[in-house]
Structures are given as C-alpha cells and as structure tokens.
Amino acid sequence: MERLGSKDEVRQAVGEARREGKRVALVPTMGALHDGHLSLVEAARERSDLVVISVFVNPTQFGPGEDFEAYPRDLQRDMDLLYAEGVDIVFTPTPEVMYAPDAQVTVDPGLLGSVLEGASRPKHFAGVCTVVAKLFSIVGPDLAFFGEKDFQQLGIVKRMVLDLDLPVKVVGCPTVRECDGLAMSSRNAYLSGDEREAATVLYRALCRAEKLALGREGDARVLQEAMREVIDAESLAEVDYAIVADETTLQPLERLGAGRARALVAVRIGSTRLIDNLALEVV
C-alpha cells in the first residue's frame, strides 16, 4: 500500500496501473474510518484491480460554525485499517494541495442540492460536488463507491456524473449499522453515553415509517407525523427534518406508490447533527 500526498504522484501511479489494463476504483472519505467505509472498500476491491481511497477532511463542505476543526482525525489508525483491507493507494492531500489559494470555480449542485441537507447546510453540496469532481479528475477512476447513508450526496454525485458527462460509474452501497440500528458515522464519536442511546431514535423513526408503509398506509404525511412523534418522544433529540421523498428528485411525496420512496431524517442529539434514511417498500 502506498500513501501519496500529491496529485501528480496519484496521476502517475494510477496511469501506470491503467497502462497495465487495470480497472481502477475510488472510494472518497473524510477518514475516521469505520465499518461503513470499509464496506465500500470491500465492494471496490471486488469490482476492480486497483483501489484508491482518499482521506481528506474537505474544508469547503463545512459551513461557518460547523465541525471542520473538531472533525475526528486519526490517520495512523485509518492507515492500519486500510492496509488490512488490501487497499493499493491512500491519497492524503492537504487543503493546500487540493485548492489553489485563489480558487474560484465550483460545481453547482442544482435543485437537488438545495433541499433537505442543502436547506440546512447551504454551501455543503457545492463543496462536495467540487471536491468529488476534482478527485475524479485527479484519480480518473472507472468506478467510484459512495454510501447510501448519505443518500442525497449519492443522488447528487450520480446527477453530476450524468450532467457533466464524467467518465465514471457511481456505485451506491448499503448503509452499515451498529447492532441497535444506529447508522455508523464518524460523528457518532461526538456522542456521550446518554446521547449514544438517544441516537437510536433516527433508525426507530425510520422503522416506524417502514412499518406503516408495509401496512399499506399510503399517506406520506401520516408517515412523516409518525416519524416526528417517535423523535419528539426522545428528550435529547431535536428533529431537523423527517420527510418522505421521491428517491430520485428528493421532492416530498404526498402519497406512496408513484415511484420509489425514501424516508429521510436529520436529528440533533445535543450538539451533534445526525442523518439517516431508509427505502420504503410498497407492497
């Protein structure tokens, strides 16, 4: 496994692999790795010959007052985990390597970037799209792996690839959860003991919506109110949104049935903001 810090080194190493006819996969991350990230690495390894993982806490996707400084960083532990997973290249640029001091051009995520997470975090998806487009340009992967945990991000990246004709296939991977249902996230490390228990409320709310949908409740508002009720019952939790949306447009649905539906929640547990989502099967 190689750790590379510059764009040129990555371009050169991937270029050599390409000339040998290797299929290249990219897994973008912000580090503080957990089993969710490692599931992406495993999926990437199964479908490619060279796995590149980027570990970069991207400053441009954090808003003022968000947790950029406090975001957990433990590169040595990440490297050990990635070595055990058989990763080929770990790209660890600094912000100075990634961004020119006078950088101006960014990728506009469009309407998809303005709802849900985008409504609470206005420049977040422009930051995500820009860094992902840059990583695609630097690495030039055949395949790129993203988690359904960040469902809106996955949808926006797929849309960006389509709209900008980027020559990469985006692969979505299922959310990896703790035993009690909490979606794995680097931000779970912020939670105190009580908060960690309260944090199961996201999955409990989503499961409530899923159960109603399976019981043929078709009114999306009923599902949304049920999710809010579950979250409101948890004293340490404060709901940001609890929505049933069309899986592709992410616009709120009135009724289930037309197109595939997704329940999505964002909840504050103390000062930690967590998100999660679940597909709603209509039988």
Q: Rule CB under 6 A: say whether 39 interacts with ligand AMP.
A: yes
Contacts of 103 (CB under 8 A, 6+ apart): none
Distance, C-alpha 169 to centroid of its chain: 16
In the complex with ligand AMP, the residue whose CB is nearer, 60 or 186, is 186
- β-sheet with 143-147: strand ranges across: 2-4, 89-91, 50-55, 24-29, 143-147, 169-173
- Contacting residue, 10, 14, 25, 40, with ligand AMP by CB under 6 A: 40
Which residue among the candidates 37, 124, 134, 187 is catalytic per the annotation? 37
Binding residue (CB under 6 A) for ligand AMP from 10, 36, 90, 115: 36
CB 251 within 8 A of CB 258: no
Site for ligand AMP in 172-201 (CB under 6 A): 173, 175-176, 183-186
Instruction: Give yes or no for residue 262 binding ligand AMP (CB under 6 A).
Output: no
The DSSP-derived string for 75-118 is: HHHHHHHHHHHT-SEEE---HHHHS-TT--------GGGTSTHH
Residue placing its CB nearer to ligand AMP in the complex, 72 or 252: 72
Under the criterion CB under 6 A, does residue 37 sit at the interface with ligand AMP?
Answer: yes
Rounded least distance, CB 74 to ligand AMP, Å: 12
Name the residue among 77, 93, 96 with its Cα closest to residue 85: 77
Both tokens assigned to 30: 């912000």
* Least spacing, CB of residue 252 vs ligand AMP, in Å: 22
Is residue 152 a contact residue for ligand AMP (CB under 6 A)?
no
CA dist., res. 145 & res. 28, Å (int): 7
CA-wise closest residue to 14 among 57, 56, 49, 58: 49
124 is catalytic: no
x-or-dash pattern for ligand AMP, window 112-151, by CB under 6 A? ----------------------------------xx-xx-
Binding site for ligand AMP (CB under 6 A): 29-30, 36-37, 39-40, 146-147, 149-150, 173, 175-176, 183-186
List, by residue number, the catalytic residues.
37
